[in-house]
Amino acid sequence: MRNPLPRPIALAAGATTTAAVLQRAAFLRHCVLALVAAVAAVGSFGAHAQAFPTKPVTLVIPFAAGGPTDLLGRALAQSMGASLGQTVIVENRAGAGGTVASASVARAAKDGYTLLLHHIGMSTAPSLYRKLSFDPLKDFEYLGQVADVPMTVIGRPDLPAKTPQELISYLKREGKAVNLSHAGLGAASQLCGMLLQQAVGVESTTVPFQGTAPALTALIGGQVDLMCDQSMQTVQHIKSGKVKLYGVTTRERLKPLPDAPTLREAGLKDFEVVVWHGLYAPKATPAPVLATLNTALKAALKDPALIKRLDDVGVVVVKPELQTPEGLSTQLSSEVDRWGALIRQAGTYAD
Ligand code: MLT
């Protein structure tokens, strides 16, 4: 119960007893304190309502710096930062095909200051890892889908195969002697490489890295033979002739690489991998904070500079209706089911 107000005493005109003066002073002091408390309460309510974000936001990238997720994340961070009025800092937490970063963001403070940009790997992890310290379907708030990134199948510059058909023959002939690099179990490059081996009917030797940035360096240097990697990173290296391009993993050819056949055209029936991306926050982040972040995501995905940057490398910003919590949660749950079936069939697991 609140303290009762001290009662003001009615003073006869001109009455000035010491007791009366003291009581009136106490009453006035009480009124002033009550007013100060009320103003403070209103101020603090206002501060809660519009406080987010009052400091930089961290965007966690689950792979090495310089790779496709990092490149997409940095472009997104710049545009979201402009809309939020705060810097969005990119932090790379590579390891275990993206699961190290996902686990850490699932356990981060639920205040909107730690976000995760992750791709298709969020949906394959529950099937690939028998032990996972987080649940993609329970431990996150979904801010929205971001963009779809095609993949390219690329080889070291001096790989003898010149065409996709020659590559298929080379893979069959050389078998385990071929080193296929990827970014760890759960990475898009690993998934695409696994599907490529299945489609060709071979088993190559796989070489994991912390991301496709270091894997690409090894490919350009000739330490590994082949890799599937996202166009976000590879287009410039393909155009400059640093790597050999054999095909693209989309249904249609890519605008920036019009001469490259799709793997379907090259004879690998039904082959298709498109790397969808989503933005996540820890579960139980407050709704007003999530709304602010979603508004910033949508604003970023309308930014003409960002759209052009992505379009130049064949990356497509998702439709507005997918840039939503529902758009991401629906995609994630259907992809968990889809890849679960395929991964069980392939029998690829980590303990
Ligand atoms: C990366 O940024 O290194 C890639 O997204 C890894 C991958 O999934 O292949």
Q: Tell me whether residue 18 is in a domain.
A: no
Compute the distance between CA of residue 303 and CA of residue 241 in angstroms, rounded to an integer: 31
189 within ligand 1 shell (Cβ under 6 A): yes
Compute the distance between CA of residue 196 and CA of residue 170 in angstroms, rounded to an integer: 13
Q: What is the pLDDT of residue 46?
A: 43
> Is the same domain home to 106 and 158?
no
Q: Tell me whether residue 291 is in a domain.
A: yes
Which of 72, 91, 102, 189 for mutating ligand 1's site (highest number of atoms within 8 Å of CB)? Answer: 189
Q: Tell me whether residue 177 is in a domain.
A: yes
Q: Tell me whether residue 139 is in a domain.
A: yes
> Is the same domain home to 210 and 172?
yes
22-54 tens-digit pLDDT: 455 555 455 444 444 444 444 443 444 458 999
Domain that holds residue 165: 150-248
Q: Tell me whether residue 275 is in a domain.
A: no
Q: Tell me whether residue 183 is in a domain.
A: yes
> Is the same domain home to 66 and 145?
yes
63 within ligand 1 shell (Cβ under 6 A): yes
68 within ligand 1 shell (Cβ under 6 A): yes
How far does residue 72's CA lie from ligand 1's centre (Å)? 11
Nearest alpha-carbon partner for 183 in 174, 175, 192: 192
How far does residue 139's CA lie from ligand 1's centre (Å)? 22
Compute the distance between CA of residue 91 and CA of residue 114 in angstroms, rounded to an integer: 10
Split into its structural domains, the chain has a count of 2
Backbone angles phi, psi at 245, to 5 degrees: -100, 130
> Is the same domain home to 66 and 81?
yes
> Is the same domain home to 194 and 134?
no
Q: What is the pLDDT of residue 345?
A: 78
Compute the distance between CA of residue 87 and CA of residue 326 in angstroms, rounded to an integer: 27
Q: What is the pLDDT of residue 47?
A: 44
> Is the same domain home to 155 and 143?
no
Structure token digits, residue 142: 């979904």
Atom number in ligand 1 closest to CA 187: 8
Backbone angles phi, psi at 227, to 5 degrees: -160, 150
> Is the same domain home to 214 and 202?
yes
Compute the distance between CA of residue 39 and CA of residue 315 in angstroms, rounded to an integer: 51
- With a CB cutoff of 8 Å and minimum separation 6, the contacts of 125 are 97, 98, 99, 102, 132, 136, 186
Compute the distance between CA of residue 22 and CA of residue 14 in angstroms, rounded to an integer: 15
104 within ligand 1 shell (Cβ under 6 A): no
What's the first-to-final CA gap in the chain, in angstroms?
58
Q: Which residues of the chain have pLDDT under 70?
A: 1-50, 348-351
How far does residue 231's CA lie from ligand 1's centre (Å)? 11
> Is the same domain home to 311 and 221?
no
> Is the same domain home to 242 and 224?
yes
How far does residue 111's CA lie from ligand 1's centre (Å)? 27
Q: The domain that contains 180 carries what CATH number? A: 3.40.190.10
Q: The domain that contains 108 carries what CATH number? A: 3.40.190.150
Q: What is the pLDDT of residue 73?
A: 98
> Is the same domain home to 140 and 174?
no
Q: Tell me whether residue 44 is in a domain.
A: no
76-87 tens-digit pLDDT: 999 999 999 999
Q: What is the pLDDT of residue 291?
A: 98
